[in-house]
Structure 1
Protein backbone atom coordinates (compact mmCIF):
# COMPACT_ATOMS: atom_id res chain seq x y z
CA UNK A 1 0.00 0.00 0.00
CA UNK A 2 2.83 2.37 0.84
CA UNK A 3 4.48 1.49 -2.47
CA UNK A 4 1.28 2.36 -4.41
CA UNK A 5 1.03 5.69 -2.62
CA UNK A 6 4.68 6.42 -3.41
CA UNK A 7 4.10 5.58 -7.09
CA UNK A 8 1.07 7.89 -7.20
CA UNK A 9 3.01 10.73 -5.61
CA UNK A 10 5.94 10.31 -8.01
CA UNK A 11 3.57 10.14 -10.98
CA UNK A 12 1.76 13.31 -9.81
CA UNK A 13 5.11 15.06 -9.48
CA UNK A 14 6.11 14.00 -12.99
CA UNK A 15 2.81 15.24 -14.43
CA UNK A 16 3.10 18.60 -12.65
CA UNK A 17 6.66 19.06 -13.87
CA UNK A 18 5.63 18.26 -17.44
CA UNK A 19 7.88 15.21 -17.79
CA UNK A 20 4.91 12.93 -18.44
CA UNK A 21 1.88 13.90 -20.50
CA UNK A 22 -1.57 13.46 -19.03
CA UNK A 23 -2.62 11.48 -22.09
CA UNK A 24 -0.84 8.47 -20.59
CA UNK A 25 -3.17 8.60 -17.58
CA UNK A 26 -6.09 6.20 -17.97
CA UNK A 27 -9.51 7.57 -17.14
CA UNK A 28 -10.90 4.03 -17.16
CA UNK A 29 -11.49 2.89 -13.56
CA UNK A 30 -11.23 -0.75 -14.63
CA UNK A 31 -7.62 -0.14 -15.61
CA UNK A 32 -6.75 0.05 -11.90
CA UNK A 33 -8.18 -3.41 -11.39
CA UNK A 34 -5.81 -5.02 -13.86
CA UNK A 35 -2.48 -3.65 -12.76
CA UNK A 36 0.58 -5.87 -13.08
CA UNK A 37 0.77 -6.23 -9.28
CA UNK A 38 -2.81 -7.54 -9.13
CA UNK A 39 -2.31 -9.80 -12.16
CA UNK A 40 0.78 -11.22 -10.48
CA UNK A 41 -1.16 -11.82 -7.25
CA UNK A 42 -3.88 -13.74 -9.10
CA UNK A 43 -1.29 -15.69 -11.09
CA UNK A 44 0.48 -16.75 -7.86
CA UNK A 45 -2.82 -17.77 -6.21
CA UNK A 46 -3.75 -19.93 -9.23
CA UNK A 47 -0.26 -21.47 -9.20
CA UNK A 48 -0.42 -22.10 -5.44
CA UNK A 49 -3.69 -24.03 -5.74
CA UNK A 50 -2.73 -25.66 -9.05
CA UNK A 51 -5.73 -24.47 -11.05
CA UNK A 52 -6.42 -22.16 -13.96
CA UNK A 53 -9.81 -21.19 -12.49
CA UNK A 54 -9.32 -17.88 -10.71
CA UNK A 55 -12.54 -18.23 -8.66
CA UNK A 56 -11.66 -21.72 -7.38
CA UNK A 57 -8.18 -20.57 -6.42
CA UNK A 58 -9.51 -17.50 -4.59
CA UNK A 59 -12.14 -19.57 -2.74
CA UNK A 60 -9.52 -22.11 -1.68
CA UNK A 61 -7.16 -19.32 -0.57
CA UNK A 62 -9.84 -17.49 1.43
CA UNK A 63 -10.90 -20.71 3.16
CA UNK A 64 -7.28 -21.63 3.91
CA UNK A 65 -6.71 -18.20 5.45
CA UNK A 66 -9.92 -18.48 7.46
CA UNK A 67 -8.70 -21.77 8.96
CA UNK A 68 -5.19 -20.45 9.56
CA UNK A 69 -6.34 -17.32 11.41
CA UNK A 70 -9.41 -18.80 13.14
CA UNK A 71 -10.00 -17.44 16.63
CA UNK A 72 -9.56 -20.54 18.78
CA UNK A 73 -10.50 -20.95 22.43
CA UNK A 74 -6.81 -21.49 23.23
CA UNK A 75 -6.06 -17.87 22.29
CA UNK A 76 -8.75 -16.52 24.59
CA UNK A 77 -6.88 -16.81 27.88
CA UNK A 78 -8.77 -15.12 30.69
CA UNK A 79 -12.05 -14.91 28.76
CA UNK A 80 -15.21 -16.13 30.50
CA UNK A 81 -16.84 -17.89 27.53
CA UNK A 82 -14.00 -19.25 25.39
CA UNK A 83 -15.21 -20.44 22.00
CA UNK A 84 -13.71 -21.46 18.68
CA UNK A 85 -14.91 -19.28 15.80
CA UNK A 86 -14.45 -21.07 12.49
CA UNK A 87 -15.54 -19.61 9.16
CA UNK A 88 -15.82 -20.83 5.60
CA UNK A 89 -16.95 -19.20 2.37
CA UNK A 90 -18.76 -20.86 -0.53
CA UNK A 91 -20.50 -19.71 -3.67
CA UNK A 92 -24.25 -19.53 -3.36
CA UNK A 93 -26.61 -18.22 -6.02
CA UNK A 94 -25.28 -16.01 -8.79
CA UNK A 95 -23.77 -12.91 -7.24
CA UNK A 96 -23.83 -14.28 -3.70
CA UNK A 97 -21.31 -15.64 -1.27
CA UNK A 98 -22.36 -17.86 1.60
CA UNK A 99 -20.45 -17.23 4.82
CA UNK A 100 -20.68 -20.04 7.37
CA UNK A 101 -19.78 -19.31 10.99
CA UNK A 102 -19.32 -22.21 13.37
CA UNK A 103 -18.98 -21.45 17.05
CA UNK A 104 -17.81 -24.26 19.33
CA UNK A 105 -17.65 -24.20 23.11
CA UNK A 106 -14.71 -25.68 24.99
CA UNK A 107 -16.53 -28.95 25.55
CA UNK A 108 -16.96 -29.43 21.76
CA UNK A 109 -20.57 -30.50 22.29
CA UNK A 110 -21.88 -26.95 22.27
CA UNK A 111 -21.91 -26.07 18.55
CA UNK A 112 -23.81 -23.22 16.89
CA UNK A 113 -23.83 -22.65 13.13
CA UNK A 114 -24.90 -19.46 11.45
CA UNK A 115 -25.08 -18.86 7.69
CA UNK A 116 -25.02 -15.43 6.14
CA UNK A 117 -25.65 -14.61 2.49
CA UNK A 118 -23.57 -11.75 1.12
CA UNK A 119 -24.90 -10.17 -2.06
CA UNK A 120 -21.87 -8.81 -3.91
CA UNK A 121 -23.61 -6.80 -6.62
CA UNK A 122 -23.63 -3.08 -6.01
CA UNK A 123 -21.06 -3.07 -3.21
CA UNK A 124 -17.54 -1.76 -2.98
CA UNK A 125 -15.43 -4.92 -3.23
CA UNK A 126 -12.78 -3.56 -0.87
CA UNK A 127 -13.07 -5.34 2.49
CA UNK A 128 -12.10 -3.19 5.45
CA UNK A 129 -10.73 -4.65 8.67
CA UNK A 130 -9.90 -3.51 12.16
CA UNK A 131 -7.28 -4.91 14.55
CA UNK A 132 -7.50 -3.00 17.84
CA UNK A 133 -4.29 -3.07 19.84
CA UNK A 134 -6.14 -3.76 23.08
CA UNK A 135 -8.03 -6.83 21.87
CA UNK A 136 -7.31 -10.44 20.97
CA UNK A 137 -9.08 -10.37 17.62
CA UNK A 138 -9.41 -8.60 14.28
CA UNK A 139 -12.70 -8.09 12.50
CA UNK A 140 -13.37 -7.95 8.78
CA UNK A 141 -16.33 -5.76 7.98
CA UNK A 142 -19.39 -6.50 5.87
CA UNK A 143 -19.19 -4.54 2.59
CA UNK A 144 -22.91 -3.64 2.86
CA UNK A 145 -23.30 -2.42 6.41
CA UNK A 146 -19.74 -1.97 7.68
CA UNK A 147 -20.57 -4.14 10.70
CA UNK A 148 -18.34 -6.99 11.85
CA UNK A 149 -18.67 -9.95 9.49
CA UNK A 150 -15.70 -12.19 10.39
CA UNK A 151 -13.68 -12.36 13.61
CA UNK A 152 -10.18 -13.82 13.46
CA UNK A 153 -7.19 -13.98 15.80
CA UNK A 154 -5.37 -10.66 16.15
CA UNK A 155 -2.79 -10.68 13.35
CA UNK A 156 -2.47 -7.54 11.25
CA UNK A 157 -0.72 -9.29 8.36
CA UNK A 158 -3.23 -12.15 8.37
CA UNK A 159 -6.18 -9.75 8.43
CA UNK A 160 -4.66 -7.75 5.57
CA UNK A 161 -4.08 -10.87 3.45
CA UNK A 162 -7.58 -12.19 4.17
CA UNK A 163 -9.17 -8.82 3.34
CA UNK A 164 -7.19 -8.71 0.09
CA UNK A 165 -8.20 -12.24 -0.92
CA UNK A 166 -11.86 -11.57 -0.02
CA UNK A 167 -11.78 -8.36 -2.05
CA UNK A 168 -10.43 -10.20 -5.09
CA UNK A 169 -13.06 -12.92 -4.64
CA UNK A 170 -15.87 -10.36 -4.48
CA UNK A 171 -14.55 -8.67 -7.64
CA UNK A 172 -14.42 -12.02 -9.37
CA UNK A 173 -18.00 -12.91 -8.40
CA UNK A 174 -19.18 -9.44 -9.46
CA UNK A 175 -17.90 -10.17 -12.98
CA UNK A 176 -20.50 -12.91 -13.29
Structure 2
Protein backbone atom coordinates (compact mmCIF):
# COMPACT_ATOMS: atom_id res chain seq x y z
CA UNK A 1 0.00 0.00 0.00
CA UNK A 2 2.81 2.39 0.89
CA UNK A 3 4.58 1.60 -2.40
CA UNK A 4 1.42 2.37 -4.36
CA UNK A 5 1.01 5.66 -2.49
CA UNK A 6 4.65 6.54 -3.17
CA UNK A 7 4.22 5.76 -6.87
CA UNK A 8 1.08 7.86 -7.07
CA UNK A 9 2.73 10.79 -5.30
CA UNK A 10 5.77 10.56 -7.58
CA UNK A 11 3.57 10.51 -10.66
CA UNK A 12 1.51 13.41 -9.35
CA UNK A 13 4.56 15.54 -8.54
CA UNK A 14 6.14 14.77 -11.90
CA UNK A 15 2.89 15.54 -13.71
CA UNK A 16 2.54 18.88 -11.95
CA UNK A 17 6.09 19.88 -12.81
CA UNK A 18 5.89 18.73 -16.41
CA UNK A 19 2.43 20.17 -17.04
CA UNK A 20 3.70 23.51 -15.83
CA UNK A 21 6.15 23.39 -18.72
CA UNK A 22 3.54 22.65 -21.34
CA UNK A 23 3.53 18.88 -20.88
CA UNK A 24 5.42 16.12 -22.56
CA UNK A 25 4.63 14.85 -25.99
CA UNK A 26 4.35 11.09 -26.31
CA UNK A 27 7.48 9.65 -27.79
CA UNK A 28 7.48 7.00 -30.42
CA UNK A 29 9.12 3.66 -29.64
CA UNK A 30 12.87 3.79 -30.17
CA UNK A 31 12.71 7.55 -29.96
CA UNK A 32 15.62 9.49 -28.57
CA UNK A 33 15.48 12.91 -27.01
CA UNK A 34 17.88 14.27 -29.60
CA UNK A 35 15.91 17.42 -30.21
CA UNK A 36 15.52 18.06 -26.47
CA UNK A 37 19.14 17.83 -25.35
CA UNK A 38 20.08 21.38 -26.13
CA UNK A 39 19.05 24.94 -25.65
CA UNK A 40 16.24 26.39 -23.64
CA UNK A 41 14.27 23.17 -23.34
CA UNK A 42 17.25 21.48 -21.70
CA UNK A 43 17.64 24.31 -19.21
CA UNK A 44 13.91 24.30 -18.45
CA UNK A 45 13.86 20.52 -17.97
CA UNK A 46 16.86 20.59 -15.65
CA UNK A 47 15.38 23.43 -13.59
CA UNK A 48 12.12 21.51 -13.21
CA UNK A 49 13.94 18.37 -12.11
CA UNK A 50 16.02 20.34 -9.59
CA UNK A 51 12.83 21.91 -8.18
CA UNK A 52 11.09 18.54 -8.02
CA UNK A 53 13.89 17.00 -5.98
CA UNK A 54 14.70 20.15 -3.98
CA UNK A 55 18.36 20.34 -4.92
CA UNK A 56 20.60 22.71 -6.82
CA UNK A 57 22.83 19.86 -7.99
CA UNK A 58 21.84 18.77 -11.53
CA UNK A 59 23.55 15.39 -11.29
CA UNK A 60 21.84 14.51 -8.01
CA UNK A 61 18.46 15.66 -9.32
CA UNK A 62 18.88 13.56 -12.48
CA UNK A 63 19.96 10.51 -10.47
CA UNK A 64 16.99 10.92 -8.13
CA UNK A 65 14.62 11.33 -11.08
CA UNK A 66 15.98 8.31 -12.96
CA UNK A 67 15.80 6.17 -9.82
CA UNK A 68 12.23 7.33 -9.10
CA UNK A 69 11.23 6.42 -12.66
CA UNK A 70 12.96 3.04 -12.37
CA UNK A 71 11.03 2.38 -9.15
CA UNK A 72 7.73 3.51 -10.65
CA UNK A 73 8.07 1.47 -13.84
CA UNK A 74 9.82 -1.56 -12.33
CA UNK A 75 8.79 -4.89 -13.82
CA UNK A 76 6.99 -6.60 -10.95
CA UNK A 77 5.81 -10.20 -10.70
CA UNK A 78 2.24 -8.92 -10.49
CA UNK A 79 2.43 -7.72 -14.11
CA UNK A 80 3.53 -11.14 -15.35
CA UNK A 81 0.21 -12.96 -15.29
CA UNK A 82 0.47 -16.40 -16.85
CA UNK A 83 4.26 -16.45 -16.64
CA UNK A 84 5.74 -19.72 -15.38
CA UNK A 85 8.34 -17.88 -13.30
CA UNK A 86 7.28 -14.33 -12.50
CA UNK A 87 9.95 -12.15 -10.92
CA UNK A 88 10.50 -8.63 -9.73
CA UNK A 89 13.21 -6.76 -11.63
CA UNK A 90 14.35 -3.62 -9.84
CA UNK A 91 17.13 -1.21 -10.80
CA UNK A 92 18.96 1.55 -9.02
CA UNK A 93 21.57 3.91 -10.47
CA UNK A 94 24.56 5.60 -8.87
CA UNK A 95 27.38 7.73 -10.22
CA UNK A 96 30.62 5.82 -9.97
CA UNK A 97 34.18 7.01 -9.97
CA UNK A 98 35.95 8.12 -13.12
CA UNK A 99 33.18 8.19 -15.68
CA UNK A 100 31.04 5.24 -14.74
CA UNK A 101 27.34 4.88 -14.18
CA UNK A 102 26.68 2.01 -11.79
CA UNK A 103 23.57 -0.08 -12.25
CA UNK A 104 22.34 -2.24 -9.40
CA UNK A 105 19.98 -4.93 -10.68
CA UNK A 106 17.91 -6.85 -8.14
CA UNK A 107 15.91 -9.90 -9.18
CA UNK A 108 13.39 -11.37 -6.74
CA UNK A 109 11.72 -14.68 -7.48
CA UNK A 110 10.48 -17.63 -5.45
CA UNK A 111 11.85 -16.24 -2.20
CA UNK A 112 15.33 -15.66 -3.66
CA UNK A 113 17.04 -12.36 -4.19
CA UNK A 114 19.88 -11.97 -6.67
CA UNK A 115 21.85 -8.74 -6.97
CA UNK A 116 24.18 -7.78 -9.80
CA UNK A 117 26.19 -4.60 -10.08
CA UNK A 118 27.07 -3.53 -13.60
CA UNK A 119 29.17 -0.49 -14.44
CA UNK A 120 28.64 1.42 -17.67
CA UNK A 121 31.62 3.40 -18.92
CA UNK A 122 30.03 6.62 -20.15
CA UNK A 123 32.95 8.28 -21.88
CA UNK A 124 32.81 7.81 -25.62
CA UNK A 125 29.19 6.61 -25.72
CA UNK A 126 26.30 8.33 -27.45
CA UNK A 127 24.23 9.99 -24.69
CA UNK A 128 21.00 9.60 -26.67
CA UNK A 129 19.22 6.66 -25.04
CA UNK A 130 16.94 4.58 -27.21
CA UNK A 131 14.14 2.28 -26.10
CA UNK A 132 11.72 -0.24 -27.57
CA UNK A 133 8.29 -1.30 -26.38
CA UNK A 134 7.31 -4.34 -28.46
CA UNK A 135 3.57 -4.56 -29.05
CA UNK A 136 3.49 -8.25 -28.19
CA UNK A 137 5.07 -7.96 -24.78
CA UNK A 138 4.70 -6.55 -21.29
CA UNK A 139 8.08 -4.79 -21.20
CA UNK A 140 9.96 -1.87 -22.62
CA UNK A 141 13.67 -2.30 -23.16
CA UNK A 142 16.03 0.59 -22.57
CA UNK A 143 18.98 0.13 -24.90
CA UNK A 144 22.59 0.39 -23.79
CA UNK A 145 24.36 3.45 -25.17
CA UNK A 146 27.53 1.37 -25.43
CA UNK A 147 26.37 -1.39 -27.77
CA UNK A 148 22.61 -1.14 -28.30
CA UNK A 149 21.83 -4.30 -26.34
CA UNK A 150 19.08 -4.42 -23.72
CA UNK A 151 20.39 -2.50 -20.72
CA UNK A 152 17.30 -2.06 -18.51
CA UNK A 153 13.87 -3.70 -18.64
CA UNK A 154 10.79 -1.90 -17.33
CA UNK A 155 7.06 -2.50 -17.50
CA UNK A 156 5.48 -1.63 -20.86
CA UNK A 157 4.56 2.05 -20.69
CA UNK A 158 5.55 4.23 -23.64
CA UNK A 159 5.37 7.51 -21.73
CA UNK A 160 7.34 6.08 -18.80
CA UNK A 161 10.01 4.64 -21.10
CA UNK A 162 10.24 7.94 -22.99
CA UNK A 163 10.68 9.94 -19.78
CA UNK A 164 13.23 7.44 -18.46
CA UNK A 165 15.20 7.59 -21.73
CA UNK A 166 15.17 11.39 -21.56
CA UNK A 167 16.34 11.46 -17.94
CA UNK A 168 19.08 8.91 -18.65
CA UNK A 169 20.23 10.88 -21.68
CA UNK A 170 20.58 14.04 -19.60
CA UNK A 171 22.29 12.09 -16.81
CA UNK A 172 24.86 10.52 -19.13
CA UNK A 173 25.51 13.86 -20.76
CA UNK A 174 26.01 15.40 -17.30
CA UNK A 175 28.40 12.61 -16.26
CA UNK A 176 30.37 13.03 -19.48
CA UNK A 177 31.09 16.63 -18.53
CA UNK A 178 33.14 15.30 -15.64
Unaligned runs of 5+ in 1: 3-31
Q: How many angstroms apart in 1 are the aligned matches of 2:37 and 2:147? A: 23
Q: How many angstroms apart in 2 are the aligned matches of 1:115 and 1:129? A: 21
Aligned counterpart in structure 2 of residue 155 of structure 1, from 154, 157, 168: 157
TM-superposed deviation, 1:46: 0.3
- SS where residue 106 of structure 2 aligns? strand
- SS where residue 134 of structure 2 aligns? coil
Aligned to 1:175: 177
Unaligned runs of 5+ in 2: 1-23, 26-35
Instruction: Provide Cα deviations, 1:28-83, integer angstroms capped at 9, x if missing partner.
Output: xxxx8431111100000000000100000000000000000000000000011100
* Partners of 2:37 and 2:170 within 8 A in 1: no
Aligned to 1:104: 108
- SS where residue 171 of structure 1 aligns? helix
Q: How many angstroms apart in 2 are the aligned matches of 1:163 and 1:33? A: 12
Aligned to 1:144: 146
Q: How many angstroms apart in 2 are the aligned matches of 1:94 and 1:157? A: 32
Q: How many angstroms apart in 2 are the aligned matches of 1:67 and 1:144? A: 23
Give the superposed CA RMSD.
1.6
TM-score (norm 2): 0.79
- CA 1:145–1:53: 2 relative to 1, 3 Å: same
Q: How many angstroms apart in 2 are the aligned matches of 1:124 and 1:158? A: 21
Structure 1 residue ranges, 4+ long, deviating more than 2 angstroms after superposition: none
Aligned to 2:116: 114
Aligned counterpart in structure 1 of residue 136 of structure 2, from 134, 137, 157: 134
What is the total number of aligned residue pairs between the two structures?
146
TM-score (norm 1): 0.80
Which has the bigger relative contact order, CA under 8 A and spacing at least 6?
2
| 1:66 and 2:70 are equivalent in the alignment | yes
